[in-house]
DNA sequence: CAGGTC
DNA sequence: TCTGG
C-alpha cells in the first residue's frame, strides 16, 4: 500500500530518536509495530510504502494530522530561538509519535538507568513472550523474579506492580483528557513512574505536546544553552509554548545522536 | 557508565 | 540502588 505524504517525515530520525525501542531497519525497510500490528515501512520521496497496519493507523502513529511546519513556526515565533531554528532545519521531519500508552509506559519504566541497547533487548524479550507486546493482564501474572530473569533488575518490581494496577482497571486512556498536572500526578501514582517517565508517556502516547521530559541529556542542554537548572518544565512552556515537547525532542536528538 | 525513582 | 555491555 502507498500513502502520499503531505507532511515532512524522516523515518530514520523519528524511529531512531529514543521515543520507541522496537523498530529495526533492514536494508531500506523499517520494521516495527503500529497499534500492535507488525508493520513494514519504506519512504521514497513523498511516497510512504507500508504493509501491516492500516493507513489511518499509520497517520495516527506519526501524528500526520499535525502540521510540523506550523509547529516549528509556533515555537520559533514565540521564542525566537536560534538554536532550535537550526535544529528544525537540520532534523526536519523528526516527528513525535503517538504510541500505544500501555507499551509506552512499560518501555519507559524499564528504560531508567539503562542504555538504549539494553532497553531494546528488554523490550524484545517482552515481545517474545507471546505474539506482540504483552498486555497488562499477561504481565501481571508473571512474578518479580520472572522479570529479574529477563534482566530488568530493580525495575522488575515496578513492572510487576504497575501491571497489576493497570490489569485491575487503571485506565491510561482516560488520562488523556485531563489537565497537565493532574495527568502527571495520576501517572506518578504508578510504581516506577516519576517525573521523567510520566512526561515521556504523556508526550509520546497521550498527546500532551507541552510535556518536556528532563533527563541527564536535556539537563545538560538546558544548563549549557539556557542557563537553567530548575523548574525546566515551566520555563519550557513559557519559552516554547504548547509544543514544548517538540523542542525537547530536537534538543535531545541533537545532544544524543 | 547508562535517558530515574522512592 | 540493579546489572548488562
Q: What is the DSSP letter of A241?
A: G
**Domain positions in chain A:** 2-61, 68-96+211-256, 101-205
The CATH code of the domain at A2-61 is 3.30.310.40
Residue nearest to nucleotide B6 (CA to C1'): A192
Instruction: Please tell me the distance from the alpha carbon of residue A48 to that of residue A122, in angstroms, as a whole number.
Output: 29
Instruction: Please tell me the distance from the alpha carbon of residue A134 to that of residue A239, in angstroms, as a whole number.
Output: 39
pLDDT tens digits, one per residue of A114-150: 999 999 999 999 999 988 899 999 999 999 999 999 9
Q: Which nucleotides of chain C are near protein (any atom < 7 Å from a CB)? A: 1-5
Nearest nucleotide to A218 (CA to C1') is: B3
Measured between its terminal Cα atoms, the distance across chain A in Å is: 31
CB A50 within 8 A of CB A3: yes
Q: Is the pLDDT at A257 greater than 90, yes or no?
A: no
Instruction: Please tell me the distance from the alpha carbon of residue A58 to that of residue A80, in angstroms, as a whole number.
Output: 32
CB A159 within 8 A of CB A192: yes
- Indicate whether this model's pTM tops 0.95: yes
CB atoms within 10 A of CB A141: 13
Q: Of residues 209 to 228 in chain A, which lie within 7 A of strand B by their beta carbon?
A: 213, 215-217
Q: Which nucleotides of chain B are near protein (any atom < 7 Å from a CB)? A: 1-6
Class of domain A68-96+211-256: mainly alpha
Class of domain A101-205: mainly alpha
The stretch A141-170 carries a mean pLDDT of: 95
Q: Is the pLDDT at A181 greater than 90, yes or no?
A: yes
Instruction: Please tell me the distance from the alpha carbon of residue A134 to that of residue A185, in angstroms, as a whole number.
Output: 25
Nearest nucleotide to A121 (CA to C1') is: C4
Nearest nucleotide to A153 (CA to C1') is: C2
Q: Given its phi and psi angles, is residue A115 left (phi above 0), alpha (psi -120 to 50 degrees) or beta?
A: beta
C1' (B3) to CA (A62) span, angstroms: 21
Grid cell of A3 as nine digits: 500513502
Amino acid at each position: 500500500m502507498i500513502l502520499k505524504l503531505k507532511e515532512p517525515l524522516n523515518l530514520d530520525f523519528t524511529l531512531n530518536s529514543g521515543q520507541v525501542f522496537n523498530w529495526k531497519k533492514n536494508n531500506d525497510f523499517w520494521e516495527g509495530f503500529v497499534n500492535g500490528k507488525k508493520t513494514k515501512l519504506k519512504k521514497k520521496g513523498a511516497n510512504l510504502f507500508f504493509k501491516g497496519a492500516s493507513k489511518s493507523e499509520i497517520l495516527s502513529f506519526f501524528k500526520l494530522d499535525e502540521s510540523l511546519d506550523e509547529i516549528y513556526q509556533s515555537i520559533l515565533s514565540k521564542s525566537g530561538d536560534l538554536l532550535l531554528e537550526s535544529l528544525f532545519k537540520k532534523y526536519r521531519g523528526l516527528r513525535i509519535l503517538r504510541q500505544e500508552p500501555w507499551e509506552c509506559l512499560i518501555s519507559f519504566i524499564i528504560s531508567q538507568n539503562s542504555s538504549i541497547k539494553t532497553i531494546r533487548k528488554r523490550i524484545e524479550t517482552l515481545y517474545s513472550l507471546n505474539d506482540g507486546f504483552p498486555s497488562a493482564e499477561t504481565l501481571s501474572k508473571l512474578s518479580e523474579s520472572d522479570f529479574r530473569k529477563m534482566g530488568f533488575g530493580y525495575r522488575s518490581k515496578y513492572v510487576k506492580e504497575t501491571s497489576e494496577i493497570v490489569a485491575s482497571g487503571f485506565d491510561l486512556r482516560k488520562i488523556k483528557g485531563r489537565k497537565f498536572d493532574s495527568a502527571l500526578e495520576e501517572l506518578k501514582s504508578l510504581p516506577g513512574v516519576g517525573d521523567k517517565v510520566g512526561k515521556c508517556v504523556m508526550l509520546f502516547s497521550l498527546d500532551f505536546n507541552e510535556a518536556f521530559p528532563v533527563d541527564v541529556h536535556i539537563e545538560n542542554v538546558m544548563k549549557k544553552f539556557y542557563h537553567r537548572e530548575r523548574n525546566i518544565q515551566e520555563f519550557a512552556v513559557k519559552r516554547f509554548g504548547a509544543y514544548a515537547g517538540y523542542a525537547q525532542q530536537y534538543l535531545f536528538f541533537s545532544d544524543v545522536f
